[in-house]
A and B are shown apart, each in its own frame.
Chain A
């Protein structure tokens, strides 16, 4: 059952990419695309790309909300970098801190690590089990729990619903 669900999700995702890529104008194109996608699915049965994604109404809402949270963080992070680069004193206070995540799914952790890299002043350097090691451009706390609160928790509450 799980593998079936995963296959359907992957099929829809690949089909979306195919439609975007070719800006569909004929039915043959879609048919050809579907055949190739089915072949791809047969050969990539074991690749668990969307295996962790929860298909519920709530998770869909959270996914959309997450996109906006992420974009806002991205813009803020860029203004932050711009400010630091342009100010003559170069106000940085860098260091590598350790944070803890409560996410269990692999995909969820991947998205979390990527989001951390793209948000203000943080860069994921290493992941080990439950812990991420994060290069922080402006270290305000070295405590694991406080740092987790500051860096991870704002994304975690969305990803927890999306990926479980």
Chain B
């Protein structure tokens, strides 16, 4: 059981490593957010699950279940808030980007007001 838990924890830490690598490699703040959010969610999820399985005698599985729930609920909200704030203060998308519907709609509205 301890070995199995260790393997799951290891896989989780690999996803966390990939998330960190993604933050370094991606070209702009939005793409970094993508790598940061997704990889860390599954990474932490597997990491905690591995701990719960590896130390099954400590009966901490319920508490870890709560931790996992909170992470699933809060992680996307925080990254959404960050991305929204970044777009509001006008951080540009990378040159590779093909479209920005939000900026288009907002400039249309500003023209309508003025």
| Contact (Cβ within 8 A) B62 A123 | no
Q: Report the minimal beta-carbon distance from A148 to chain B, rounded to whole angstroms.
A: 12
The residues of B with any CB-CB pair to A shorter than 8 Å are 15, 18-19, 21-22, 25-28, 30-31, 33-35, 37-39, 41-43, 59, 62-63, 65-66, 72-73, 75-77, 79-80, 83-84, 87, 93-94, 96-103, 105
Min CB distance, B43 to chain A, in Å? 8
Report which residue of B18, B62, B102 has the largest number of chain A beta carbons within 10 angstroms of its beta carbon.
B102
Task: Determine if A123 and B37 form an interchain contact, defined as CB atoms under 8 angstroms apart.
Answer: yes
Q: Is the CB of A23 within 8 A of B63?
A: yes
Interchain residue pairs with CB less than 8 A apart (29) = A20-B62, A20-B66, A74-B42, A77-B38, A78-B39, A81-B39, A84-B22, A85-B22, A85-B25, A92-B96, A93-B96, A93-B98, A94-B93, A94-B94, A98-B102, A117-B79, A117-B80, A121-B34, A123-B79, A124-B80, A125-B84, A125-B102, A126-B84, A126-B87, A128-B105, A135-B34, A137-B31, A142-B99, A142-B101
CB pair A21 B101 closer than 8 Å? no
> Which of the residues A23, A80, A92, A117 comes within 8 Å of B37, measured between beta carbons?
A117
Given contacts A23-B59, A125-B83, A135-B34, contact A95 B21 (CB under 8 A): no
